[in-house]
Amino acid sequence: MKNILEFLERTSAQYADKTAFADEEQALSFAQVQAMARSGGSELIRRGLKNEPVVVFMKKAPQTIAAFFSVIYAGCMYVPMDVGMPLHRVRMILKKLSPNAIICDESSRATAEELGCGEKIIDCTELFSAKPDDAALAAVRARQIDTDPIYIVFTSGSTGTPKGVTACHRSLIDYANALCPVIGAAADSVFAMQVPLYVDACMKEILSVIKCGSTAYLMQQSLFMSPLKVLDFLNRHGINTVCWVASALTMVSGLGAFAEGRPEHLRTVCFGSEVFPVKQLKLWQQAAPEARFINLYGPTEATGMSFYYEVDREFAENEPIP
């Protein structure tokens, strides 16, 4: 395998009508994600885009992930952003990139126009409604190699100035093949995606879905203002796997949500990016006694998580989790 799209195409053939990505407003099957991505990729090729960054400036939604794959089908690299990012940060990223195309939705178009991106804007509805061009897509695929970049994610870096980090097909293929067995990703896995789509941490869910045929439900950050709503979301959608930053887990357990309810389906809880207090870990273990708990760590520059530790013993509250 040399192209990340092979995961999507193989899984789409096997689970065509199964939900791949969903939120409270939209659900996309594997077949729909692939069809939208092929249409979008064809339109980007028709517009002359080639081996260059394409900004995906859209809200956190299933169709945004389809836009990511559209860019990959066109042989370009996507740069994820959304309107929740500080405006000065968006300006700095656009200045660094000088992109020729910015894919927008209804939430971001006005902001993109205010930033002077008018003629570069591509409405996502126009992208997804384009006619797929099989010959053009095949020509792009024939030229692609496994070290071609897929995305550029901007981190703050040590200076606070956005720094672009690139990942390629090979790094993501290898990451998916290493990660999915560790977290137990499978066709019956149902993820709750907590992180924004403009950070590389979301690749844990995206890769699990396209490689294993899992399903991912996208969560809006506003949910975490009410921990009981988070529990309701988990139980209503049958979530059995979460890969969250430690602070999101702490927000639920630390505010007493487990006194009112518990996550009924959890079998894997992955945490990382921050220190997870042992006190909060114990609350989650009590609420989900059958679940595995896995500490993940890795820098953006290494594509994703590089190390893991599965909790296999009791920890004192002042003891760090490896």
Q: What is the tens place of the pLDDT at every residue in 250-293? A: 999 999 999 999 999 999 999 988 899 999 999 999 999 999 99
Helix/strand/coil percentages in the chain, nearest 5: 45, 20, 35
CATH of the domain at 306: 3.40.50.980
Residues 166 and 186 in one domain: no
- Count up the domains in the chain and report the number: 2
Is residue 268 in some structural domain? Answer: yes
Query: Domain span at residue 273?
Result: 182-310
Determine what percent of the chain is predicted with pLDDT higher than 90: 91
CB-CB contact of 36 with 66 (8 Å): yes
pTM of the model: 0.96
pLDDT(45) > 70? yes
Identify the CA nearest to 148 among candidates 78, 208, 211: 78
CB-CB contact of 58 with 104 (8 Å): yes
Q: What distance in Å separates the CA atoms of residue 314 and residue 24, rounded to the nearest whole number?
A: 37
Mean pLDDT across the chain: 95
Q: Quick one: pLDDT at residue 157?
A: 59
Q: CB 138: neighbour CB atoms within 10 A? A: 9
Q: What distance in Å separates the CA atoms of residue 143 and residue 139, rounded to the nearest whole number?
A: 7
> Where residue 299 falls among pLDDT bands split at 50, 70, 90?
confident
Is residue 151 in some structural domain? Answer: yes
* CA quadruple 184, 304, 171, 89: dihedral sign: positive
128, 143, 170 — which closes off a domain?
A: 170
DSSP string, 82-112: -TTS-HHHHHHHHHHH--S-EEE-TTTHHHH
Residues 204 and 131 in one domain: no
Residues 137 and 219 in one domain: no
Residue 43, classified by CB atoms within 10 Å of its CB into exposed (0-12), middle (13-18) or buried (19+), is buried
115, 149, 170 — which closes off a domain?
A: 170
Residues 204 and 98 in one domain: no
Residues 164 and 188 in one domain: no
pLDDT in tens, 24-35: 999 999 999 999
Q: What distance in Å separates the CA atoms of residue 70 and residue 57, rounded to the nearest whole number?
A: 13
CB-CB contact of 50 with 137 (8 Å): no
Determine what percent of the chain is predicted with pLDDT higher than 70: 99
Residues 40 and 61 in one domain: yes
Is residue 322 in some structural domain? Answer: no
Is residue 175 in some structural domain? Answer: no
Q: What distance in Å separates the CA atoms of residue 245 and residue 200, rounded to the nearest whole number?
A: 12
Paired tokens of 35: 């069809």
Residues 152 and 220 in one domain: no
- Say which residue the tokens 């097909």 belong to: 169
Please count the CA atoms within 13 angstroms of the CA of 120 that sit on its side-chain side.
20
* CA quadruple 218, 222, 223, 227: dihedral sign: positive
Is residue 283 in some structural domain? Answer: yes
Q: Tell me what the mean pLDDT of segment 179-195 comes to.
A: 97
> Where residue 222 falls among pLDDT bands split at 50, 70, 90?
very high
Is residue 303 in some structural domain? Answer: yes
Q: What distance in Å separates the CA atoms of residue 101 and residue 46, rounded to the nearest whole number?
A: 13
Is residue 121 in some structural domain? Answer: yes
Residues 193 and 117 in one domain: no
Task: State the pairing for strand pair 215-218/241-245.
Answer: unpaired
CATH of the domain at 155: 3.40.50.12780
Q: Quick one: pLDDT at residue 83?
A: 87
Q: Quick one: pLDDT at residue 230?
A: 97
Residues 113 and 221 in one domain: no
> Where residue 120 falls among pLDDT bands split at 50, 70, 90?
very high
Is residue 176 in some structural domain? Answer: no
Q: In what order do the strands lie in the sheet with 121-123?
A: 121-123, 102-104, 53-57, 77-81, 149-155, 163-168
Residues 143 and 9 in one domain: yes
Task: State the pairing for strand pair 27-29/19-22.
Answer: antiparallel
Residues 155 and 205 in one domain: no
Residues 210 and 298 in one domain: yes
pLDDT in tens, 135-184: 999 999 999 999 999 999 998 756 678 889 999 999 999 999 999 999 99
3-state secondary structure (DSSP) of residue 178: helix
138, 170, 202 — which closes off a domain?
A: 170
